[in-house]
Every structure is written in structure tokens, then in C-alpha cells.
Structure 1
Amino acid sequence: MPLKRIQDFLIQHPDLSVTYFDQSTHTSELAAAALGVSPAQIAKTLVFLADAAPLLVVTCGDKKIDSRKLAKTVGAKKIRFADAETAETATGFPPGGVSPIGLLNEIPLYLDRSLWDFATVYTAAGTANSALPLSPDRLKELTGANVIDVCK
């Protein structure tokens, strides 16, 4: 079902296509190795709980989120990383395949400015062995996400 949501989304956007791999790409390092790019070019989608409500942050694969900066930016008192079950329930995607497009539910979505260090970034595409290449501008256009600066 997660893959079908991505495929349905892409029908509306024929300029985009998913790349599938025989091996797992569920971490930035594995995805980068499969694609032949640096881990920084992998756009990892992370699920956080901000005062118990889920939100997504997409950032470069080599970056770490500063939870204090994130809390201040989104106006939350407490930020914590979501566990795998919460992430899958909130997004409809399994860990390692969380995509910023085709989400099961509407969730606040943020793109870290670090993504603009690259002309092309690679998001997960609903499975732990897929990637969707696109520009950060196109990702912002498709998701309507806000651009923030929350990395260390």
C-alpha cells in the first residue's frame, strides 16, 4: 500500500520516477552507496513528536537535527524522535521508507535548508529499497513544506 500511494502520486507528475534497488537503502549510507552519491545527498525524512503531535523534517543524510532549534522553530515545548511504530502510524510508511510525498495523513512538514546544497537530492519512496531523485525546489513545490534551519 505505501508503494501504491507513491505510484498514484507520480501519475500526476510524469517528470518524476522512482529508482528501485535489489538491496536495502533504508539508511542514508546504504542509499548513498546504491546511488553512487554522498550520504549528504540523501534526503532523510525524520518523524518527531512536538508536544506529542507528529511532524516531519527532511534534511541531508549527513546532518543531525538540533532538537532545541527545532522546538523553538515550531513553537513546541518538547521535541522527541518518534519510535518506529509511531512513525509508521503517522506517515503510513515503514521505517527506512518514509517519504515526504504520499503521506497517509496530513502532517506538518519541514525542509531543512541544507538540502539546497545540492541540485538533486534523493528521498525515500515508500519502501526501504527505493529512491526518488528531485531538486529541493521541486520537493518544496510538491509538499508545500516550510524551509527551516535546524541542523547542528
Structure 2
Amino acid sequence: MSIEMVRAYLKQFGAEERILEFDVSSATVELAAVAVGVEGARIAKSLSFKVEERPIIIVVAGDAKVDNSRYKAQFHTKAKMLTHQEAHERIGHDVGGVCPFALPEDVQVYLDVSLKRFETVFPAAGSDNSAIELSCAELEQYAANFAGWVDVCKAWRPEEQVAGGQLPC
């Protein structure tokens, strides 16, 4: 079970007991926000992509959306997400529980600057009903195969917001 792999992985940091498990699903930003009791933006969603044939994870704020032009400028390729099956096979976590912990060595993790607005964020912990509260510094430290901070998202900056909601994509 993936959450047990994450628990064992986080033990090296003394953080395994900080994993939160819920009686309800936390598989989407909206469900996770309700389960945790925070605004959706503080949910750190882990998105899995292919760069060439290598899998990567980009962890972004819950209200952020990947901007194709920024992604292409950063990774020199179009954004292509892994399928559910590919995520399971290549990342080791199922969609809804994909997280930056306990990953195969060839999976690099990037953190998006959209997360830095918050004192703490809540990434999944390997299952569709778990999360862990971490500061950005802890997230960087605990992320497996951490490759760096990136700026590949839109729709979260104040200048990208309009009264009553976000700008259309």
C-alpha cells in the first residue's frame, strides 16, 4: 500500500506520525480542502508529467493551473500528463494519492512557486484519503529526488485574479 511506503519514507525525517488519514476522500483539491479544513489553494497537488520519456512530478498550489508556455519554457517540451495507469506504474502512487514522497529514483520532483504564499501546505501522503501538513522548507527537504523550484503556473497571482473569481484560462 502506497501510504505505508510514504509512512516508511517519512520516518527518516521523523515526520511519519504527522500523516493525516481521513474517513472521506481527499482525492481532489476540493475534497482535500474539506477533509483538512483549509482553503483549496493550500492543498499541494502533485501533477505527474512526461519529459521525453522520464516521469516528473510538479507540486503546485491547489488554485494554480499549469501554464503551457511557462511549462514549455522550463522543460523544452509540451506538457503531457501521465495517464492513470502510467502514474501507477511509473510513479508508484495512484491518481488521487500522487505525492512527492517514496518515489522511484528516476522520478524528479519540482515545486512550483505558487506554494510559497503559504506558511504550510497539504500534499497527499500516498492514498486518496491522506495528507500531511508541511512548510515549504519541509516539503523541499522531504521531497524525493528534489530537482528545484519552478514557475510554471498561472491563475494564482493577484494580478491574474478578477473580482468574483479567476480570469478564464
Normalising by structure 2, report the TM-score.
0.84
Task: Identify the residue that residue 48 of structure 1 maps to in structure 2.
Answer: 49
Shift of 1:50: 1.9
Q: What SS does the aligned partner of 2:149 have?
A: strand
Amino acid at match of 2:31: L
1:76-103 deviation per Cα after TM superposition (whole angstroms, max 9, x unaligned): 3332121111111111001100010111
Counterpart Cα distance in 2 of 1:102 and 1:112: 19
Q: Where has structure 1 moved over 3 Å in runs of 4 or more?
A: none
- What is the CA RMSD across the aligned residues, in angstroms? 1.4
- 1:94-130 per-residue CA deviation (whole Å, 9 max, x = no partner) reads 1100010111343121100011100110000000000
What is the DSSP-based 3-state SS (H/G/I as helix, E as strand, rest coil) of the residue aligned with 2:32?
helix
One-letter identity of the residue aligned with 1:92: G
Matches within 5 A, 1:4-15: 4-15=4-15
Within-5 A mapping of 1:83-122: 83-122=83-122
**Structure 1 contact 50–71 (Cα < 8 Å) conserved:** no
Counterparts of 2:66 and 2:83 in 1: how far apart (Å)? Answer: 16
Structure with max Cα Rg: 2
Which residue of the partner structure matches residue 73 of structure 1? 74
Q: Tell me the equivalent position of 2:166.
A: none
List gaps (5 residues or longer) in structure 2: 155-169
Residue of structure 1 equivalent to 2:62:
61
- The question of whether the paired residues in 2 share the 8 Å contact of 1:28 and 1:42 is answered with yes
> Number of residues paired by the alignment?
151
Query: Unpaired runs of 5+ in structure 1?
Result: none
- Residue 149 in structure 1 maps to residue 148 in structure 2: no
